[in-house]
Structure 1
Amino acid sequence: MNVLIVRGGWDGHQPVVCTELFRELLESHGATITVAETLDVYTDRAVLDATDLIIQCWTRGDLTAEQENGLVDRVRAGAGFAGWHGGVLAFGYAAARYQYMVGGRFLHHPGGLIDHTVDFTGTHPITAGLTSFRVHTEQYYCHVDPSLEVLATTTFDGGHDEPDTAGVVMPVVWIRRFGRGRVFVSTLGHSPADLRIPQTRTLTERGLLWAATPVVT
């Protein structure tokens, strides 16, 4: 398994530390890891063609048309794509093909770092054995694609000067098929500490491995 980690952008989300948290897991599953700290890697056809899983952690910034097409076309052709929090959702706002592939975009996190609950929906190997848990982190309010397979949600209470959000059930973790590729997205992961929470770490690890699994056609 060849894994491409693309990291950079705004350093507040600590992309290097966060992505390195999963190196041991990936290598234990036989992964050869390539790290790119430039979005130009998405224009390198040789690198992309050899990649089975793309993990992106790049908050803010945008894609050129060539970068966007390289990334999206490779995922549609069979590479997995995975990421968390702003590294995939607060990025590429002008890139319509990218947004369509990811299935969501970050808009707001009322109150900043707050206490809230993550709940699970249905059954899936990524969430097997997990139960609702509390977190103290940003509660992401997103625009999301209605076709997503949602694995976890959070419910807004209308606080923090945003009364219109009361009762809104928002996806936290989702997956989707994209052509022959698989996409995994989690809104959790503002900091390394957040990713070290046992339930969040389990979700993320399982999501990365799920995305790396080839689609059987």
Structure 2
Amino acid sequence: MGACKTMTNPSRRALVVRGGWEGHSPVEITDLFLPFLKDAGFTVDTSDTLDVYTDAERLAATDLVVQCWTMGEVTPGQSAGLIATVRAGTGFAGWHGGVVDSFRGDLDYQRLTGGQFLMHPEGYHDHRVHIVPGHELVAGIEDFDVHTEQYWVATDPAIEVHATTVFPAGEEHGREVVMPAVWSRRYGAGRVFVNTIGHKPDDFDVPEARVLTERGLLWASR
């Protein structure tokens, strides 16, 4: 049975769903954002089971779902519950493999997120994140550097891209490739935010990466 605990009791409700592959430190890395959400006025619940996505009444009362669940499998009922909830207006947000390397066999889930992880070059390396101006999420943020995994993703052309990274020409691709790194989308009445940065907790020691994610959580919320 999955554990669930309430962190505080203000007006809005956030549900943090975390689990899957432990290499992405789902508990440690989501714990970084719990105080921020609480300070922003959310009651914060956590769940370590995907069965929470079948609790329609609970999800309907939730303003924001934050997911950090890498790989794993989602049942048709769990997937349908999450998707219906977002379509009805609950926000959905996450970072890195916890949101775009989840439930690889579920195409409906991939339509929700607007992107799917395909590969990353081996190990960590320095690369630059280029801001795409014009949205409130990136206001005042300039290009910044990170030392972490760089995700190659397949994305929906309907997403709104807020930051990109560049893959230099290589054997598999004969030209430089600009890759979405941070994006958002509308999904029915709901909002979805994705940041591909966040393989390890210290990725969020980079102020711009942290601020982008915090803004994304608030923007996605109902």
TM-score using structure 2 length: 0.92
Please tell me whether the aligned partners of residues 132 and 162 of structure 2 are also in contact (alpha carbons under 8 angstroms): yes
2:173 to 161, 164, 168: 164
Provide the residue aligned with 2:62 in structure 1: 51
Partners of 1:67 and 1:20 in 2: CA distance: 24
Provide the residue aligned with 2:182 in structure 1: 173
Equivalent position amino acid for 1:74 in 2: T
RMSD, aligned CA = 1.1
Partners of 1:92 and 1:152 in 2: CA distance: 24
2:25 to 14, 21, 33: 14
The reply on whether 1:24 has 2:35 as its aligned counterpart is yes
Structure 1 segments unaligned to the other structure (5+ residues): none
Q: CA deviation at 1:41?
A: 0.6
Please tell me whether the aligned partners of residues 133 and 139 of structure 2 are also in contact (alpha carbons under 8 angstroms): no
Q: CA deviation at 1:134?
A: 1.1
**Regions of 4+ moved over 2 Å:** none
The reply on whether 1:75 has 2:86 as its aligned counterpart is yes
Q: CA deviation at 1:163?
A: 4.7
Q: 1:133 to 1:39 in 2, by over 3 A?
A: same
Structure 2 segments unaligned to the other structure (5+ residues): 1-11
Q: CA deviation at 1:165?
A: 6.2
Please tell me whether the aligned partners of residues 103 and 148 of structure 1 are also in contact (alpha carbons under 8 angstroms): yes
Partners of 1:163 and 1:113 in 2: CA distance: 20
Residues 24-173 of structure 1 mapped to structure 2, 5 A cutoff: 24-159=35-170, 162-164=171-173, 166-173=175-182
Please tell me whether the aligned partners of residues 156 and 165 of structure 1 are also in contact (alpha carbons under 8 angstroms): no
Please tell me whether the aligned partners of residues 80 and 181 of structure 1 are also in contact (alpha carbons under 8 angstroms): yes
Provide the residue aligned with 1:209 in structure 2: 218
Please tell me whether the aligned partners of residues 84 and 185 of structure 1 are also in contact (alpha carbons under 8 angstroms): yes
Q: CA deviation at 1:124?
A: 1.4
Cα displacement string for residues 141-167 of structure 1 (whole angstroms, at most 9, x for unaligned residues): 0000011100000010135xx451641
Partners of 1:174 and 1:68 in 2: CA distance: 21
Q: CA deviation at 1:48?
A: 0.8
Please tell me whether the aligned partners of residues 186 and 192 of structure 2 are also in contact (alpha carbons under 8 angstroms): yes
Cα displacement string for residues 19-38 of structure 1 (whole angstroms, at most 9, x for unaligned residues): 11111111111100110000
Q: CA deviation at 1:111?
A: 3.0
Partners of 1:139 and 1:90 in 2: CA distance: 13
Partners of 2:135 and 2:57 in 1: CA distance: 34
Partners of 2:175 and 2:215 in 1: CA distance: 31
Partners of 1:182 and 1:89 in 2: CA distance: 16
Query: Matched residues, percent identical?
Result: 53
Equivalent position amino acid for 2:212 in 1: L
Equivalent position amino acid for 1:175 in 2: S
Partners of 2:60 and 2:174 in 1: CA distance: 43
Provide the residue aligned with 2:4 in structure 1: none
